[in-house]
Amino acid sequence: MERAILVGAPPKGARARQQLAEHLGELAELADTAGAIVVGEVTQFLDRPNPGTYLGKGKIEELRAAIEERGATLVIFDDELSPAQARMIEQLIGRRVMDRAELILDIFATRARTSEAKMQVELAQLEYMLPRLTRMWTHLEKFRGGIGMRGPGETQLETDRRLISHRIRVLRERLADVQRARVVQRQGRRGIFRAALVGYTNAGKSSILRAVAAAREVLVEDRLFATLDPLTREVELGDGQHVLLTDTVGFIRKLPHHLVASFRATLEEVLDADLLLHVIDASHPAWEEHRRVVDQVLEELGVEDRPVLHVFNKIDRLDHAQLFALQEQVRETLPSSVFVSAVTEGGLEPLRRALLGSVRNLRRVAELRLPLADGKLLAELHRTGEVLSQRAEDGVWVVTARLDPAALGRLQRRGAVLSSAN
């Protein structure tokens, strides 16, 4: 097993010390998830990074001593290193150097299950690797692809840039095919209100889906990046209302942009939802920073103007005073918030009520006339809308129902006549 030393060297600043502890704690969790043992930490507050070695000369010495003392086999930087810096540090300390981005890619590679996720991760890894190829070449003998050994292994490192570029093109094409197929699939689901769970990793997104959809098969784990592939379940809200709820991959600070780029298509489709449920771990001391990170990724994905409901989860871990203080704090800044617990009985009721409200808001009450003989059309109306009343009159069904605009349009195209709406 790899024995890792973590390095955190942020710029000097007011909250630098507290944030550094936070960030290194998270980096340790990431290292653990990737299967490495953390054997030490080296930190420094920088005026600005050394262009050649990132850390100052003395710190490199300290790092070298720590490696010897602890028998470390790997060094993980919290900060992003340029390919040249990583190469230089490796030469000076004689150990493999990874940065946070590379570690996250490594975890994604070991966690990907579906062929689509595997392709997306491989694409991101290859794109990350391409500018660093020479460094990886020189260390071919000494170092493996990644901690989990599931990265692009030696055989791929032995190929040249041309082959990697070719592979990147092939992966892009295959992914485009998979995504086209899914668009077709999705058209069958039009007309049902859709909500997507987004948020920082480990916030409890999967737990919420599991609880509200009573879906035991949803994987919940106290690990980072338990979920990689979007998973959708239909949820009954009561009153004949339904919502399609989708669980998505969690975000994290400094998420490698290659990963965001290659997961973009999957995420875009998900985030094409009517409502985003931004799940926040209310019991986490750094929830505000987590929230900002998630907002940034959403912006990067171009969905920052989508309606959002903030779902403060894990309130079972707060006492009354803490919960009250939190509610006071967000009352003005995030007015559309609910406070829930995915693990206590009835703890998700506020979310269910909020979803019901959103579905109702989007759906308008309409009166429609349908041919008596067209049983199929009537059945579709019952399936996609909430029927409030129905009577036969002058050879037609007169039905009052709550419908969303897409469903209404489709029914009209198939022969339903709108007699009034409000």
Closest to ligand GTP by CB, 205 vs 242, is 205
Closest to Mg ion by CB, 111 vs 310, is 111
Closest to Mg ion by CB, 60 vs 220, is 220
Q: Is 266 near ligand GTP (CB under 6 A)?
A: no
> Are 162 and 127 within 8 A, CB to CB?
no
Which of ligand GTP, Mg ion, none does 342 bind, CB closer than 5 to 8 A by kind?
Answer: ligand GTP
Give me the residues that bind Mg ion (CB under 5 A), please. 206, 226-227
Q: Is 246 near ligand GTP (CB under 6 A)?
A: no
Q: Is 205 near ligand GTP (CB under 6 A)?
A: yes
Closest to ligand GTP by CB, 143 vs 263, is 263
Closest to Mg ion by CB, 310 vs 363, is 310
Distance CA 320, CA 20 (A): 30
Q: Is 230 near ligand GTP (CB under 6 A)?
A: no
> Are 278 and 294 within 8 A, CB to CB?
yes
Closest to Mg ion by CB, 210 vs 291, is 210
Q: How far is CA 287 from CA 201, 229, 250, in A?
A: 11, 24, 14
Give the residue from 1, 342, 310 showing the smallest Cα distance to 148: 1
Query: In the set 10, 145, 146, 204, which binds ligand GTP (CB under 6 A)?
Result: 204
Only one residue has tokens 């006339």, namely: 369
Query: In the set 77, 225, 263, 312, which binds ligand GTP (CB under 6 A)?
Result: 225
Q: Is 326 near ligand GTP (CB under 6 A)?
A: no
Distance CA 238, CA 403 (A): 16
Three-class DSSP category at 279:
strand
Other CB atoms within 10 A of residue 373 CB: 11
User: Positive or negative CA dihedral for 82, 152, 170, 198?
Assistant: negative
Distance CA 58, CA 88 (A): 15
User: Positive or negative CA dihedral for 300, 306, 309, 313?
Assistant: negative
Query: In the set 173, 222, 319, 393, which binds ligand GTP (CB under 6 A)?
Result: 222
Closest to Mg ion by CB, 76 vs 276, is 276
Only one residue has tokens 């710190």, namely: 59
Q: Is 287 near ligand GTP (CB under 6 A)?
A: no
Site for ligand GTP in 335-364 (CB under 6 A): 341-343
> What are the start-end ranges of the H helices in 139-160?
154-157
**Whole-number minimum distance, CB 281 to Mg ion, in Å?**
12
Q: Which residue's Cβ has the minimum distance to Mg ion?
A: 227
| Interface size with ligand GTP, residues (CB under 6 A) | 23
Only one residue has tokens 């069958």, namely: 188
- Helix H or strand E encompassing 96: strand 96-99
Which of ligand GTP, Mg ion, none does 85 bind, CB closer than 5 to 8 A by kind?
Answer: none
The footprint of ligand GTP (CB under 6 A) covers: 199, 201-207, 220-222, 224-227, 250, 313-314, 316-317, 341-343
